[in-house]
A and B are shown apart, each in its own frame.
Chain A
Amino acid sequence: MIDVRHVTKKFGEGATAVMALEDVSLIIPEGSFFTLLGPSGCGKTTLLRLIAGFELPSEGEIRLDGDSIGHLPPHKRPVNTVFQNYALFPHMSVARNIGFGLEMLKRPKTEIAATIEEMLDLVQLGAFAARRVDQLSGGQQQRVALARALAPRPKVLLLDEPLSALDLKLRKGMQSELKRLQAETGITFVFVTHDQSEALAMSDQIAVMSAGAVQQVGTPEDIYTAPQSRFVADFIGDTNIVTGELLGYDGPMAQIRFGEGRSLSVKTASATLVPGPVHVALRPETITICDAASDAALLIGTVRDATYFGAGSQMSIRLEDGTEIQAQVDRPSPAGTLVGLNCDSAMLQVLAD
């Protein structure tokens, strides 16, 4: 288990100082596939480098299985990294790259040879042991980098956007391969990506980051169906954010009304909002279209256009208050028609901001 406690990382001093991380606290469970998700520049790489030991925290503490490791040099931490550009040693064969960690740990030669063998099998590169790394394709180099980082059996494996350099098809393959490797080895994976679909597909837990802070931590389902803030709702998929009126609370549920419609019981990210206008997340695929005059209509809007995408159509609708929202439907209504929008109220979520 990794326990990141109130970690702050500042680069530089004075007026030009950059706050890369600000008071970040996280618990990464042992043996989990944990993803740091956020837009470029939000501090994902910095957090990873702090765990690896390439940077030292300005403030705060990092614990691994209870021991404080925040101030150890990288070669004294049982943590290995798969670098974004692989950083394979160009002057060594594939086998020696994989064995390098164990060689530095002064393990017996027979053990090293056996582990190299095992790792080559694990990443299906058995035939390439004697190759030089620059004779490999990008995908193969990727797998050598993985094998090299896994060979010393670290407690934690850090992966910094490892798939971003691969083309789409290869990336899908590597996603399931990484999942398989994590399950087979039981090692804690901390995976960095800015691609939300990748994060949702692979993770046991996701920490969504923005501007040096952790916005929300949860399972992919949590993050997707119950975003806490506008940032998370916006970042995960193409969520619509509409304005509703908070009437009050009924236990853990918020009472919401859209326009002059009926009141709905909706999940909420915060139980302390004051009654009045609040933001509600509404997923495009949960929307159904109905007659504008019908009782079922929660919201009313005008169809702007529709785009066919194979499995259905994406309709762009302008609400009465001017908000533009997206809805995925089987059969789109023609542009210009007034339509009613309906949605299972269990799929709505009141946001904290």
Chain B
Amino acid sequence: MADIVQQPATGSQNLQQAVQARAKAKRRVRLFLLLPALGIIGIFGLAPLSIALIYSFLEPGTYGGVEWSFSTDAYVQFLFERDIFDDTLGFNSAYLQIFGRSFGLAILTMCGTLMLGFPVAYFIAARPPEQRNAWLFAITLPFWTNLLIRTYSMLLIVRDEGFINLALMKLGVIGAPMQMLYTDGAVLAGLVYSYLPFMILPIYASLEKFDFALLEAGHDLYASRIQVFRHIIIPISRPGIVAGCALVLIPALGAYITPELLGGGKKLMIGNLIAMQFGSGRNWPFGSAAALILMAVVLIALLLSLRAGAEKENRHG
């Protein structure tokens, strides 16, 4: 500031004012241009979240909806059960178990899609460029049909009279049909199937520009195949792996259709629990609270993993 005051000529002061005025105008234009984006974020992102947040602190209406009186019951209910006779709170792990199963299934889904998806993504990236689009098309082909229909067809394959059981019985491997439907295994298989492309595509994107000469360079410098995989392929595809894991884990946590159909409503996941509160359960505040708790847990996990990643980056320099 000091040297501005010392400037003697008024000409340069005028110039300064003009520059400041222009900067101000520029800021205004920029703000104006940002409006559509801010509007969309507000309407589709913040508004529903705010509604959920407000509802979670209200009381449930008798026939669904909410009563407009403040209550933290929805959050209390998540961990505790109110005794119907003496109104005392007792610990209740039922919802925690559902959360636990959801996380377990989602993490297994992530691992499963990673194990299957990585080789597929690598395979496509190793094809000549003119063939890659055909492979990618094949990967995304299932998206052209509705998830519900795909899950139903899965159901037809794994049910007692389904394809697998019939085939195994024909071959004489088993005498009576195996129970596959309505098990965690069926839900897991369904989830892996549904989310596989979300793992393949980002990993492929990170490998698309991969210079395969780097593999030769690695071998040339005394790295075995496994060491080349560990020290060259994995680090270079890491951004894709991280993105793929997030893209699978987060929606898998909130999966609704797959556990509903393949788990038969017996093997609940968070998504089903939340949906139930807005439907037959008629407890909107609890549904909102469960959704927000899920979101908070995911956000915290994401932040922690980001920080861990940043630290790793720093250490390697």
Q: Which residues of chain A have a CB within 8 Å of any CB of chain B?
A: 52-54, 73-75, 79-81, 83, 85, 87-91, 93, 100-101, 104-105, 130, 148-149, 152
Complex interface bits, B182-224 against A, C-beta within 8 A gives 1, otherwise 0 = 0000000000000000000000000000010110111111111
Residue of B nearest to A151 (CB): B221
B224 and A90: CB pair below 8 A? no
Given contacts A81-B220, A88-B217, A104-B227, 7 further A-B contacts (CB under 8 A): A53-B219, A53-B220, A54-B216, A74-B220, A75-B221, A89-B218, A152-B221
B213 and A85: CB pair below 8 A? yes
Q: Taking the nearest CB of chain A, how far is it from the CB of B138, in angstroms?
A: 28
Q: Which residues of chain B have a CB within 8 Å of any CB of chain A?
A: 211, 213-214, 216-224, 227, 231-232, 235-236, 317
Report chain A residues within 8 Å CB of B213. Answer: 83, 85, 87
In the bound complex, how far is the Cα of B199 from the Cα of A277, in angstroms?
A: 73
Report chain A residues within 8 Å CB of B214. Answer: 87, 89-90
Report chain A residues within 8 Å CB of B231. Answer: 100, 104
Choose among B216, B220, B223, B235 the residue that contacts A91 (Cβ–Cβ < 8 A).
B235
Q: Taking the nearest CB of chain A, how far is it from the CB of B5, in angstroms?
A: 41
CB contact under 8 A between A101 and B221, given known A91-B236, A93-B317, A130-B317: yes
Residue of A nearest to B216 (CB): A54
Report chain A residues within 8 Å CB of B211. Answer: 85, 87
Main SS of the interface on chain B?
helix
In the bound complex, how far is the Cα of B214 from the Cα of A80, in angstroms?
A: 13
Report chain B residues within 8 Å CB of A105. Answer: 222
Report chain A residues within 8 Å CB of B218. Answer: 89, 100, 104
Q: Taking the nearest CB of chain B, how far is it from the CB of A250, in angstroms?
A: 53
Q: Taking the nearest CB of chain B, how far is it from the CB of A135, in angstroms?
A: 13
A90 and B236: CB pair below 8 A? yes
Residue of A nearest to B235 (CB): A91
A75 and B224: CB pair below 8 A? yes
Report chain B residues within 8 Å CB of A149. Answer: 220-221
B222 and A104: CB pair below 8 A? yes
Report chain B residues within 8 Å CB of A53. Answer: 219-220
In the bound complex, how far is the Cα of B218 from the Cα of A130, in angstroms?
A: 20
B217 and A89: CB pair below 8 A? yes
B221 and A80: CB pair below 8 A? yes
CB contact under 8 A between A74 and B236, given known A87-B211, A104-B227: no
- Of B220, B222, B235, most buried by chain A (CB within 10 Å of CB) is B220
B236 and A152: CB pair below 8 A? no
